[in-house]
């Protein structure tokens, strides 16, 4: 008689317990960039992009109840002449993408989603790690925590 476990391939694998701080920062920025991508695509179609988030509120009897609220997503770009300029934000700070330069210039609004895809690829490749570290250091310095 054949055992059920004999049908499976058994290996010893160490499960990754948590993301490193660098990976967590990249993931956070990618999520925000993907949100900006969805906003840009919705605006290109003439639609409104909404994010629904769970929140707490009080009902008529004063009991705490879970409700769904809309969260406004503000664009990181603006019209500049014929084209579009875009910042990359990490928290409340815009990242310095190149020495002394923080904005990405895009020739026209139709190319905005492609530029955001490129930025996401750059974050995945670790190209913005130094800029994120600098923004975090600056925030800690200004708040007196670093």
Tens digit of each residue's pLDDT (9 = 90 or more) over 96-125: 988 989 999 999 889 999 999 999 999 999
Structure confidence at residue 138 (pLDDT): 85
Q: Beta strand 77-80 with 93-94: parallel, antiparallel or unpaired? A: unpaired
Listed residue (117, 116, 111) closest to 88, CA to CA? 116
The 3-state DSSP class for residue 58 equals strand
Structure confidence at residue 4 (pLDDT): 79
Listed residue (68, 69, 73) closest to 38, CA to CA? 73
Backbone angles phi, psi at 26, to 5 degrees: -60, -45
Token readout for 71 is 């969260």
Listed as ranges, residues in the chain with pLDDT below 70 are 1-2, 145-146
Contact predicate 71/51, CB 8 Å: yes
């Amino acid at each position: 008689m054949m055992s059920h476990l004999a049908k499976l391939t058994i290996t010893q694998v160490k499960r990754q317990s948590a993301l490193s701080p660098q990976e967590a920062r990249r993931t956070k920025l990618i999520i925000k960039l993907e949100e900006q991508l969805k906003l840009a695509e919705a605006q290109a179609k003439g639609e409104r992009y909404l994010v629904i988030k769970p929140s707490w509120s009080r009902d008529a009897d004063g009991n705490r109840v879970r409700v769904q609220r809309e969260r406004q997503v503000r664009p990181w770009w603006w019209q500049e002449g014929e084209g579009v300029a875009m910042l990359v934000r990490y928290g409340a700070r815009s990242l310095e993408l190149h020495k002394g330069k923080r904005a990405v210039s895009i020739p026209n609004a139709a190319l905005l989603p492609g530029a955001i895809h490129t930025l996401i690829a750059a974050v995945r490749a670790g190209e913005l790690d130094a800029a994120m570290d600098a923004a975090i250091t600056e925030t800690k310095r200004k708040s007196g925590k670093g």
